[in-house]
A and B are shown apart, each in its own frame.
Chain A
Amino acid sequence: MDKQEKYDDDLLRTFLNPDRVERAPEGFTSKTITRIQIEKQSSSLARSFLGKNLVPMVSLAVFAALIIFSVALPANDINPAGSLLWGYLRNPGITLPAINNDFFQNLRVPGWIPYLFIGFLLLMFFDRILFGIFHKHSK
């Protein structure tokens, strides 16, 4: 601290009394606690509704998605909307670069292995989604 700084500091310490802080108004603590309690009650009400209904809501959403899929993807081409979507899914019009798949063609694996692999991938995918939903909720 140089001389000027020391002088200013001393002057401020003389004038500025740390014991003379502006005190919080009367009832500050009780008002704040009341606000916290009100907020907690309203958030717990909202959370309890979600908490109680989260599992059926997820089931309902999956169920609805399956129905939509079954309607939109018919076995035959009678439904025009379904046939459009199905047509796109069959031939999305994306060209991928050709790869040398001799290795895979020469590979001999039991026929059920690809299904098992796809099954694992799907289970992993749903597991991550459900973990994300329920773990976040339990926090």
Chain B
Amino acid sequence: MDYRSDIFYIRQVQDGKINAFSHLIDRHKDKAYNLAFRICANREEAEEIAQDAFIKAYRSLNNFKMKSSFATWLYRIVYNTAISLVRSRKNKILAIEEFPADAVDFLSSCGSQDEAVEEYRSSLVNFAMQKISEDERGLITLYYYNDLDLEEISKITGISRSNIKVKLYRARRKMAEIIGKTENKIVSYHG
């Protein structure tokens, strides 16, 4: 486990040691990739966005004033790139109309019951995520997956705290409704 702070590696990179940047990538790549993936729902594009974000961050690292954390700064690049990519796409995400009611049957191939439950919940969350807008997906990811508070989310997205509260409320409501309805369908399908 690497306990050195981001600032330690940032200073090393600023001193010309490129390889120190790989520690920063290793530390933040999963959350950066996950944020990009949740917004654009495409693995190749998410990888491209996350890589570009790290490269942009590297290029501007000499101007990094340490006023915000490296992660906040990085997520801001990822968030903005992913949102503009999705908005520029003519064909939005091809969302599945209905969650397959027999999906639970396929989960029987999972090793344990816990694993199957996790898998089921994860696919249900992915399904519900596709039904909300791209900026709502970004907010849900930053709040629940990246575990950030409203202040940090506001710095990343450029949306005011009060507006984030409202948007999060709506996004949660929509997702909860979709999850609830889908669960009811699955229960009635299995009698």
Contacts and interface: CB of A to CB of B under 8 A. Distances in A.
Interface of A: 4-5, 7-9, 11-18, 20-25, 28-33, 35-37, 39-40
Contact of B29 (A4, A5, A28, A37): A28
A28 B46 CA distance: 12
A8 B172 contact: yes
14 contacts: A5-B172, A8-B169, A9-B172, A11-B176, A14-B121, A22-B30, A24-B29, A24-B47, A28-B25, A28-B47, A29-B25, A33-B18, A35-B51, A37-B18
Interface string B149-179: 0000000000000000000010011011001
Interface stretch (B32-40, B87-95, B103-111): B32-40
Most buried by B among A22, A33, A37: A22
Interface in B124-154: 124-125, 140, 144-147
Contact of B33 (A24, A30, A31): A24
B55 interface: yes
Contacts of A21: 30-31, 34, 145
Interface in B6-50: 18-19, 21-22, 25-26, 29-34, 37-38, 43, 46-47, 50
A23 B30 contact: yes
B47 A12 contact: no
- A interface: dominant SS: helix
Nearest to A40: B18
B176 A12 contact: yes
Contact of B173 (A8, A17, A37): A8
Given A12-B144, A37-B18, A32 B25 contact: yes
